[in-house]
Structure 1
Amino acid sequence: MKVSVEKQRRSSKGPSKGGAPQTANISSPVEFELSEGASVLDLKNQIQKKMKVPVVQQRLTIDGGKKVLEDKSLVKNYELEDKVVALKDLGPQISWKAVFLIEYGGPILIHLAIYKMQSLFYGQKFVHSPAQRAMFFMAIFHYLKREYETLFVHRFSHGTMPFSNLFKNCFHYYVLGGVLLAYFNYMPSGGLGTPVADNMSSFRIAISILLFIASEFSNYSTHVTLKNLRPAGSTVRKIPYGYGFDMVSCPNYLFEILSWLSYAIISPSYFTWLFIIVSSAQMYLWAVKKHKAYKKEFPNYPKSRKALFPYIA
């Protein structure tokens, strides 16, 4: 079985009128001889040897880019006899596991530094209030939990992403969830003996901590549910059921929002609310996208479910 592959690149002329990036061929089609039982991944391995494009950087499409060739599918199923496969080099990639570890590791170090190095960041020494200690341990617990889930719970449907996207992804966690959240919540003006601390009751702090713990473990429970839906090493998709999923498609996002709302109960900083608003908006967009994908893929998907917020949206 012969397959023709043509390498493409982005055009220097910029986007087309419709907004899609234009592509231009930079090589003549290259012929590959494959067995009848060859998979798309087998084809990619041959492309790596012959055209020097690493497997993780390859995106193979047909029909003008409308159909992507999936790694585990058989090449013969795409009926490529009279077609040319378009090869796009995605550029340097980084694994999603590494992305998450880097994203969540940054805020841990930032919170630790700002909380512990008072003289460096605030120019003075002071004693943190009970509320500040609670916020510190909540933030550290949250990001350590995310690191643990990345290593031992999450199963990724996509192996890699473009390395260039890493810096954009880290901005939210490092700046909003790291620097701004830490600096303005651990300030001397909220330290022990200040009016801010004196007006913060122990009951309010306790409620904040209890709601935070409940939300975090609820979030963890939904991640375990999603893990159990997908066998290791596969990209299988099924309809999730169980705690949280009976009401919304993405309860993991809902419980994460509730975690930060619990944190906000004892936070004196407006930047906490900025962080929550930006995070919630992004998670809502992700939830709507996943909700639509579920409904499109599964005809029997529960119609009563909302995307993120029960009974609302």
Structure 2
Amino acid sequence: MFFDPHARGVFAVLPADGGDTGVYRWFVILEIVLAVVTFVALCFIVAPYGRHGRGGWGPTVPARVGWVVMESPAVLLFAAFYLLGTHRFAVVPLVFLGLWLLHYVQRAFVYPFLMRGGGRMPSTVVGMALLFNALNAWNNARWISEFGTYPIEWLTDPRFLIGLVVFLGGFVLNLASDRILRRLRGAGSTGYQIPHGGGFRYVSSPNYLGEIVEWAGWAIATWSPAGLAFALYTTANLAPRAMANHRWYRETFDDYPVSRKALIPFVV
């Protein structure tokens, strides 16, 4: 069963047979299955980019190029899929479009050019991320502009208001944490250092925590199956990497803060 933005209960039925609706249902289910598979795989294999980069994964591309290529579908394809919807000019879908682009324009076309260093990433990682972003763009864009129905009153619904606050809070935490990481690599600086300040006072990967919180907020604000699938996938993808980062910091730096957790302050 699927979320209905008008339903006061948690679930409402979206027909599973016939036409675009049936196909859409299976794409959302596919994303949830991918979340489970990704989580299990990443509990055993650390994705080979960034501080965990290593050989044996085929040809590589400059990290800056890789980020643009794999994240741009979340902007370009999302916009194209969104414009197919019958509700594309309605106010609430346009608000959701703005929130989505707020994150992904920065991630695809700003963040890569703020990166410091000449790292590379495997083209296999780029390819897998590109395919996921295309699927995720379809699921979320088609929901907000076609399959979901949002009257103007949705902007005052508690689910939208809570989701918006959570989304923006996660977005700010994500950006602030990335900025702290960039500042560790000033002019003439090489290698990795221990980050301090901001969310790093509490966890090793506040940038990942921010992104998980952000898309949880999106799921609440849109009250949608696509939003739920994306929030699950984001957690499945980033939580294991946060744990890997935490282990790496502790193994690399003898003076790493012992009270700092991996992802959730004071918990884990």
Could you say whether these structures have the same fold, taking a TM-score greater than 0.5 normalized by the shorter chain as the test?
yes
Contact 1:128–1:191 (CA<8 Å) still a contact in 2? no
Deviations 1:156-195 (A, max 9, x none): 5x6223324322121222212x111211232254144xxx
Task: Report if aligned partners of 2:159, 2:223 keep a CA contact under 8 Å in 1.
Answer: no
Q: Does 1:295 align with 2:250?
A: yes
Q: Which one has the bigger strand percentage?
A: 1
Q: Which residue of 2 aligns with 1:106?
A: 73
Compared CA separation, residues 89 and 305, structure 1 to 2 (3 A): closer
Question: Partner of 1:171 in structure 2?
Answer: 131
Q: TM-score, length-normalised on structure 2? A: 0.71
The answer to whether the aligner puts 1:184 opposite 2:139 as a matched pair is no
CA pair 300-140 structure 1, distance change in 2 beyond 3 A: same
Which of 110, 113, 120 is the aligned partner of 1:148? 110
Give the 3 Å change call, closer, same or farther, for CA 131–205 of structure 1 in structure 2: farther
Question: Larger % of helix: which?
Answer: 2
Which secondary structure state, in structure 1, belongs to the residue aligned with residue 195 of structure 2?
coil
Q: CA RMSD in A?
A: 2.5
Larger RCO (alpha carbons 8 Å, 6+ apart): 2
2: distance between equivalents of 1:107 and 1:100?
11
- Read off the aligned partner of 2:201 and give its amino acid letter: D
Preserved contact between residue 208 and residue 263 of structure 1 (Cα < 8 Å)? yes
Cα offsets for 1:195-252 (capped at 9, x unmatched):
xx65663565344334323321221111110011123575421111100001100000
Contact 2:77 2:138 in 1 (8 A): yes
The TM-score with structure 1 as length reference comes to 0.62
Match in the other structure for 1:95: 62
Task: Give the drift of 1:295.
Answer: 0.4
* Residue 100 of structure 2 is aligned to residue 133 of structure 1: no
Tell me which structure has the larger Cα radius of gyration: 1
Question: Given that residues 204 and 265 in structure 1 are in contact (C-alpha distance below 8 angstroms), is that contact kept between their aligned partners in structure 2?
Answer: yes
Task: Quote the Cα distance in structure 2 between the aligned partners of 1:133 and 1:113.
Answer: 14
Check conservation: 2:61, 2:122, Cα contact below 8 A: yes
Alpha-carbon distance in structure 2 between the residues aligned to 1:89 and 1:236: 22
Cα distance between partner residues in 2 of 1:90 and 1:262: 34
- Structure-1 separation of matches of 2:83 and 2:56: 45
Query: Pick from 245, 248, 256: which aligns with 2:203?
Result: 248
Contact 1:108 1:144 survives alignment (8 Å): yes
Name stretches of at least 5 consecutive residues in structure 1 with no aligned partner.
1-67, 69-87, 119-124
Aligned partners of 2:110 and 2:221: how far apart in 1? Answer: 26
| Distance in 2 (alpha carbons) for counterparts of 1:212 and 1:189 | 19
Give 1:129 shift: 4.4
Q: Percent identity?
A: 26
